[in-house]
Structures are given as structure tokens and as C-alpha cells.
Amino acid sequence: MLSFIVQEYHEEEFIDKMIAQLNDLAAEGEEIELCFITASPASERAYVRKKADFPVKIVGRVWSCGAARNTGAIIASPRSEALFFFDCHICFTPEAIRRAKETLRKYPNAMLGFSVWVADFPSCERKGGVGHGVTFRFTKHPFEWVWLSSPSDEDVFAVPTVCGCAFAMTPQVFKHFYEFGGFLWQHRRLGWEEEHGFRLWRLQHPVIVDKRAEVGHFFKQSWKGVAAPEYYESRVLGLYLSGDNEGCKEVLRACERDGWDVQKALRWAREHGAPIRKKLKRYPPLNLKRFLWIDENWRWIPPAWWKKLATASS
């Protein structure tokens, strides 16, 4: 069985297309379930069960992206082979899911990201280029998002982290990740989604992309209710949890130059992240400079041992 954890935040216009795609997958013989996590009351999304040709679990009034992912993974069937975490406005085909499932079987200790192209939704018409994994720079502004290109000679390769819109992992990897905080849930609404990849690397779970497992993503121009403090606090919390001291200081200086209230965000991070940080002490922190570094061709050089770790049993 495959478990799809789909989070929905006042996006009713996207639900029918998502269910239709999952119905197509079920029609081809794949045993699936949907863990539908919504910010709305569950009763307002009960109709989703009638539209679906597969089991559906619904949890309502979940206001944080991280909490939605944690909740979906926790309620997934114990028979689940893989957890697919999707935004509600993702385009995919049964072939992409089959490809991802087979790749995850080869790399069961990894988190798997997709090749992501810019899509219109619900038409799923291609509207832009393709990205393969994500890193961040701190030159133009703090936390400058950088899409990575794919190596021409590899279908499966390691990346620093992936777009929070679509990725998969085994329940065993999630269980280990959840012991060390799981997806960041302390804020409301949208936080630093991509931080999970950094912490998984630190926990010895490589982050990989299969460029032949493609999905489309509708990149919304706004997200209802997003506030600047949540943007700042979740990013500082991510640094506080996994970064080395020198790297964190350098990044925070860049944030201060950009007008962030770093001390306020740092106090919030310490208040909410201290128990997780204490647990993580058994794992070396990430050297942020080296970990996020990309070469002149915008290529990221992963640790040489990533494949051995990724193929290990969890």
C-alpha cells in the first residue's frame, strides 16, 4: 500500500483534480489510501470520501504545514510501504508514482524528491522549467532559493534538500525523523518547509531526487494568512536545530543586515526548539558553508558516502 498525505489550506478549488489523479492511480491496480489533512473542519471535507475510489482518512483544523505532514504520517496504515507527501496542487501520473516507488525500494533509507516542473492547475499544463532539488544562498538576500540542475549522466542523485511540495519516504525513515522533532510544526501556516532535508542528512538519511519521477507544481503567488514573523522564526529555528555555530552566526548576520529582528526570532527558536536540539546532540551539526555550497556550474557536491547510506535498511 502507498499512503498519500495531502495537506489542504482553504484550497477547495484544487481538491477534485487531486482526487481524480489518485483515482487514476487506483484504477491501474495500485493499492492506495489518502490521509487528507485540512485547515477546514473535517465535516466540510467529508465529501472527499464520496469522490474517492480508495480509503480516505480526514483530519480537520490543522493549521501548520509541518503538523499536517506529521499527522498524516502518524495515521497512515501500518501496511503502508511508502509515504507520499503532496501539496493539494500537484500534477502527477501513475507512471511517476511507480517510478518513485521503485526508486524508494532501492534507496529505503533516503528521502526521495521528484523532478518538479512549473504547472498550471487544474489543467496541469506546463508553464515553466524544471528543478531537481533545492539549496539556499545568502548573497542577494537571506535564504535565497536556488533550484538545482540535474547531472546529465545520472537519473538518481543526492541533493541538499527538496521542494516541500512533493517528496516521499518510508514509514521507517519518518519514524526515526519524528523521534527528532519530525516536520517543524511550532509555527502556524507556512514555515521553512525545506528544512526537513537538512535535518534528515544530519540523521544519516540522504536526500535524493529521481529525475525520471516527474511532477508538476502550481506555485501560488500568495498563501492566505502568511505573516513575516512565521517566515523569520521558522528559518531561524531550522538553523538553530542543525547548523554549526560559525555557519549560523554568519547567516544570522546576513539576516540582520536585511532588517530581520534576529534576536526575537532566536529567542522564539530557543523556546520552541531546545528539546529537539538537545536530542540531536548525538549527531554532528551541519557545516552550513560546506553543506550549502554550489560550484560555478550550480552543481552541488554530495558526500561521497551518500549512496551507501541511502541503500542501507532503516
The CATH number of the domain where 12 resides is what?
3.90.550.10
Instruction: Kindly give the interhelix angle for 171-179 and 195-202, rounded to the nearest 10 degrees.
Output: 90
Q: Is the pLDDT score of 224 beyond 60?
A: no
How far is residue 144's CA from residue 31's CA, in Å, rounded to a whole number?
A: 39
127: containing domain: 1-314
Instruction: Give yes or no for a contact between 110 and 310, defined as CB atoms under 8 angstroms apart.
Output: yes
Please identify which residue in the block is written with the cell numbers 502507498.
2
Cβ proximity of 233 and 269 under 8 Å:
yes
Domain count along the chain = 1
pLDDT at 181: 93
What's the confidence (pLDDT) of residue 125? 94
Largest Cα separation within the chain, whole Å, is 55
Higher pLDDT, 138 or 144: 144
* The pLDDT of residue 298 is above 60: yes
One-letter identity of residue 204: Q
Helix (H, G, I), strand (E, B) or coil at 259: coil
C-alpha closest to that of 211 among 280, 107, 112, 136? 112
Q: Tell me which of 193 and 52 has the higher pLDDT.
A: 52
Quote the pTM value. 0.94
Question: Which set of grid coordinates corresponds to residue 108?
Answer: 529505503
